[in-house]
Each structure stands twice: as structure tokens, then as C-alpha cells.
Amino acid sequence: MKLLILITGTGRSGTSTMSGTLHHLGLFVPGPHLGANESNPKGFFESKWAVRFHKEITDAAGIHEFDSRPTAFGRAQDAITDDRRRRLVDFLAEQAEQSDQVVVKDPRTVWTQELWRSAAAEVGLELRCISMLRHPAEVVGSRSTYYANPDDEAARRRYETFNVARWVNNSIVNERETRALPRAFVRYTDLLTDWRPVLARLGEDLGLRYDVDVTTDAPSAVDDFIDPDLRRHRVTWDDLEVPADLQDVAQRIWSHLDTLADGHGVDAAASTDLDALSDRYDRLLAAATAISHDAIEEVRRDARAAGARDARKEPRAARLVDETGSKDLLRVVVGRVRSRLRRG
């Protein structure tokens, strides 16, 4: 049996650690990979091809890679063309020639899991999904550390709020879209604390095969790869300023995902409650959008005004090009700026 293992979930939840672990246990993680950086010093173990593929889809759909809007999923489906599906089939066919256990890690697969399943089936791969779980407060704390503006407290608080919303929406979509698939939910903390029982359970639940016996203390490169200090952000809700209703929805979703982690990926009651929380989140977002109507209109007016100013500048820029030629335009502009500075 040939397998495609998708490592999915929400960003900053340990997906890279899981992908790297499977790599060190002998499964095939197609490269080239994204390089390591300060936010992920051990490396991402994430295919550049997959990242570009999903970015193409999200750009075409007009959504953020981790969008908070419930409508984002439908828009992503509309952006999946026959050409994109064929390219994915070709990519997977090439990887299937390399190994009978192919691992693709990309949290953006939350929008495209059915696409990956059907493309995998076409080349003889059976899909398995591993969703990494990390408490939303820690996820947002981690993202804020590396991506938010530390010098603007108000902007940082806004960043925390809409990233909790993104975590909520992505978690809802990911759980719903993987229900019919062989799947497992893995807590990031469990993987860092004692990786062997986690991988042993994945082997049993999903049929994964490793090049070492993970039920024993046999030496493995994973021992050096997994570092408990990778969990550098131990953030709680008390460290964030998030609207109470949104926090409550996120916490309840986390509780049900935690249940699914214990239930080998299956718990009918948890899935039913998650559907109810999805409806509640839809209503919460609709209310927030209505409340922010005037603020949104202000942004639109400012954008239209800025566009009008740019439009008034275009004829002058066109005259400059006509007078000087495009190759000399920069030289002329720089010369005029210098002349004004000397006069000033």
C-alpha cells in the first residue's frame, strides 16, 4: 500500500516538527524544502512546490493563506482549475516514484484536502491526514512574536484578535474536511514530551512504517531533532486581549479537538458540537462586520481618495516619459528632487 501523508492543521502548531520527525524515521518528504529561520531553527520540512501551489490558489481566490472568513473555503474551491489539478497529479506521480510513503506538510492544505485526496487516488496513493494541535493562545503568541509589530501595542492587539479568528476558521474547516478520511490529531506538547508513543500510535492508526522500532528505545535521529525547548511560547488567554465571545468559541473548539486527539480522530459528539460552533462563529463574524460598518466605509473613502490622487499624478508621469523616454525617467526625477533640495 502506497501512502500520501498530509500534515495539516493551523500554522505554528508543530507541523514542521512532525514533518521532520517522519523524515528522520525514513519517510519521504519531497524537497526542496523551505530553509530554517529564526522562527523555525530546525527547519520547516515543507515542500516549496506545495507552498507555491497553495499560494497560487489563495491568490486566485482572493483570500489570505489562513483566512478568517467562513466564505474563504468556497472561494478556494472556485480557484481549483483543471490545470491546477493536473499539475498536482503530475507532482504526486513524480513523488510516488521515489517512495511508497510520501509526506507533504503544509497547513494551507486546509483549503484543498479533497483535491489532494482525488489527485493521490489517481496515482495510486491513499491519503492519510495528521492534524497538529496547539492551544490557540500559544499559536497566536508564537505568530505575534515573529510577525506582529512590537512597537505598536494597538496594532499588536488587533493582530492577536484576527489571528484567533483565523485559528478558529481554519480549525473548523480542517476538522470538517478530514472527517471522511483516515486521520489523527496530535498535540504538539505530546510530540515534544515523548515522541515514541505518539509515533507508535500513528503507525497503528494510519499504517505508517518506520525504519526503526519506535516501541523500543532504539537510537534514532529524532532524539537529536526533537527539542522540548522548541516550545518557546507558553502563552495563555490571560496574556492576550481577545473579545470574550471569540475566546469562548476558540476554547470550546480546542476542547473538542483535544477529545478527537484522544479518540483516534473519531468522536461523533465532538464533530456535531464543532458544527454548532461553526454556526456560532458565522454569527459572531457577521455581527462584528456590521458593527465595523462605518470604520470599513472610512477605509474605503480613504482608498478612493488615494486612488484619485494617484490618477491625477498619472498624466504628469506620462508626460515625463514622453519627454525623456522610460530609460531616462528615473534620472530626470532624481535630478529634479536634487534641484529642489538645493533650492530648499
Structure confidence by residue, pLDDT tens digits, 238-248: 999 999 999 99
Q: Is 9:140 a contact under the CB 8 Å cutoff? A: no
Residues 6+ apart with CB under 8 A from 183: 128, 129, 130, 131, 206, 265
Mapped onto helix, strand or coil, the DSSP state of residue 110 is helix
Mapped onto helix, strand or coil, the DSSP state of residue 12 is coil
In angstroms, rounded to a whole number, what is the distance separating the alpha carbons of residues 170 and 57? 16
In the Cβ-directed half-sphere of 131, how many Cα atoms lie within 13 Å? 31
In angstroms, rounded to a whole number, what is the distance separating the alpha carbons of residues 86 and 88? 5
In angstroms, rounded to a whole number, what is the distance separating the alpha carbons of residues 233 and 242? 17
Mapped onto helix, strand or coil, the DSSP state of residue 79 is coil
Q: What is the pTM of this model?
A: 0.85
Instruction: Give 87-142 pLDDT, tens digit per residue.
Output: 999 999 999 999 999 999 999 999 999 999 999 999 999 999 999 999 999 999 88
Predicted confidence band of residue 314 (pLDDT cuts 50, 70, 90)? low
User: To the nearest 10°, the Cα dihedral for 27, 38, 13, 119?
Assistant: -50
Peptide bond into 32 cis (omega under 30): yes
Q: Is 63:75 a contact under the CB 8 Å cutoff? A: yes
Longest CA pairwise span in the chain (Å): 79
